[in-house]
């Protein structure tokens, strides 16, 4: 992705399939984080696209700085990001997601309001987590994390939800 310097959507689908194949072969844990910036459109409309771009870049930096060597971060589109966590169970994925959530929430954004005065804003993210299970396609794996993320949004945002499945 040109703006965030994370891998893009096209690469994501290739890597997702590769991790799915590895899971089928070695039966190791794989988790997926689906991250969405809360109320991004409102922020972007109010403060402008360059300020919105800054929010995207800062989240990408948080993701990149928190990941381990085997983990891979992607920008899917707009304000949607994913992180593949090979060799990671849900307990560890929850810990990584919480670190990302807290680190991003702690960033102070200082855009100018309509009157030209600088304001201090803390943005938040909602995160869904899924764990890859047997008999689940790579697309279903992504959909599970997406559903968990939307549950986090419905339950008040700035939250992490785990997709309930029985692996």
Identify whether 79 is a catalytic site residue.
yes
Among residues 2, 79, 80, 108, the one annotated as catalytic is 79
Separation of alpha carbons 125 and 39, rounded Å = 9
Query: How far is it, in rounded angstroms, from Cα 95 to Cα 134?
Result: 23
Beta-strand relationship, 30-37 and 80-86: antiparallel
**From CA 160, how far away is CA 157, in angstroms rounded?**
8
What is the C-alpha to C-alpha distance for residues 64 and 48, in angstroms, rounded to an integer?
25
- Are 35 and 100 spatial neighbours (Cβ–Cβ below 8 Å)? yes
32: nearest Cα among 73, 2, 78, 80: 73
Give me 45's structure tokens: 């409309």
Per the CB < 8 A criterion, the answer to whether 158 and 124 are in contact is yes
What is the set of active-site residues? 79
């Amino acid at each position: 992705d040109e703006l965030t310097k994370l891998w893009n959507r096209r690469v994501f689908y290739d890597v997702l399939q590769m991790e799915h194949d590895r899971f089928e072969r070695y039966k190791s844990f794989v988790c997926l984080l689906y991250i969405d910036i809360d109320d991004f459109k409102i922020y972007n409309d109010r403060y402008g696209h360059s300020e919105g771009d800054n929010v995207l870049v800062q989240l990408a930096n948080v993701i990149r700085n928190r990941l381990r060597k085997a983990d891979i971060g992607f920008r899917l589109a707009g304000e949607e990001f994913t992180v593949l966590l090979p060799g990671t169970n849900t307990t560890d994925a929850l810990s990584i997601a919480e670190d990302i959530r807290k680190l991003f929430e702690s960033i102070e954004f200082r855009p100018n309001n309509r009157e030209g005065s600088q304001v201090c804003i803390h943005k938040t993210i909602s995160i869904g987590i899924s764990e890859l299970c047997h008999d689940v396609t790579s697309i279903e794996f992504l959909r599970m994390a997406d559903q968990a993320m939307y549950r986090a949004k419905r339950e008040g945002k700035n939250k992490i939800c785990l997709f309930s499945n029985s692996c």
